Amino acid sequence: MKQLVCCAEYRDAARFEEDAGWPGLTAADWERTQPDAHWRLIGDNDATLARLSLWWSRVAQHAGARLGYVGHYAAGDREAGEHLLHHGLAELERHGATLAVGPIDGNTWERYRFITEAGVEPPFFLDLQHPLDWPQHFAACGFTPFSEYRSTLCEDLATLPGAVATLDARFAARGGIRVRPLDMTRLEQDLSAVYRLSLVSFRDHLFYTPVSETAFLKQYSALLRFVDPRLVLLAEHETGLAGFVFCVPDHLQRARGVVPDTLVIKTLAVLPGARYAGLGVVLTKRAQIRAHELGYRRAIHAMMHDAGQCGRMNQRRHGTRVIRRYALYAREIAR
């Protein structure tokens, strides 16, 4: 017999069995994301048939709509997923939301989006991994793609297009920008500067909400054991940080018995304004050149926003091809 269960705390959710193939939901995830509600569809033997969390009190502003987020999503099949999603939509409506958005685990600093086209390349480190029919569960409940993204692959770092020297000269003429790697001897100061820059660089992004510096440092500190500091580049100008690119080796290659030869370019941020136009290209190319010097052959530009012509220009500029596509979904809620 199926039943809907509302879990007020993580320990309430953790007592139900889950499919081991689902993306995990840990106590740390719960603590960071602080859902307003967490629901489970439970079957025999306390097995979770589907799960989701809802947010409505601490969400972004968007074009006059009252947003409600659906995240921490997992479902064993479409029937269970649709059942729980319809219930989640009714709950969001009851709490005043007019636009449901998902999957998004509370904010865009956390896991969000679905893979919509997986391609033939295997998953890479920090990529999304989930059953590929989950977007169909959302579509069956009236959700449609609201914002789309892509991961692209540069297959030969030895033949990067463009000239970094020309761009370097342009910035030198503006007073000079110094690019250096992450300094592990002053890690807290460097990460604090990255946090402050991120708040400025990302504030106009879709569904952006700020997070505390404590939460940011905790999230990034968890990744440090996977990082080669030589591949995290900071661009300093005058008295502060003007840009950074955060890269990691594709550690999932090790699980496949391969020495990592692929760089994952995860996050790129630059101060806004004409003064720093082109700095993102400089940082990206420098990271790829440095990776090639260290023995890497390829680079993945991970989960970039698919901004139409701008996205296609970026693809040509870096000599890449699309390997995976993603989408964030939304649907109006009748009021």
- Where do the domains of the chain lie? 3-148, 156-296
Residue 310 is predicted with a pLDDT of 45
pLDDT value, residue 315: 58
E strands within 222-318?
232-237, 240-249, 262-270, 298-305
Handedness of CA 248, 251, 253, 257 (dihedral sign): positive
Are 330 and 141 in contact by the 8 Å Cβ rule? The answer is no
Q: Hey, do 3-148 and 156-296 end up sharing a CATH topology, with the first three levels equal? A: yes
In which element (H, E) is residue 152 found?
A: strand 144-154
Report CA-CA distances (Å) from 82 to 49, 88, 137, 155.
11, 10, 6, 40
Listing DSSP states for 171-209 in one string gives: HHHTT--EEEE--GGGHHHHHHHHHHHHHHHSTTSTT--
**pLDDT value, residue 233:** 97
- Whether CATH 3.40.630.30 fits 156-296: yes
If you count them, how many residues does the chain have?
335
Q: What is the CATH number of domain 3-148?
A: 3.40.630
Measured distance CA(187)–CA(11) in Å, rounded: 34
Q: Tell me the C-alpha distance between 108 and 124, whole Å.
A: 20
Residues of the chain with pLDDT under 50: 308-310, 313
C-alpha–C-alpha distance, residues 268 and 244, integer Å: 6
| pLDDT at position 313 | 47
Span between the terminal Cα atoms of the chain, in Å: 32
What pLDDT is attached to residue 221? 87
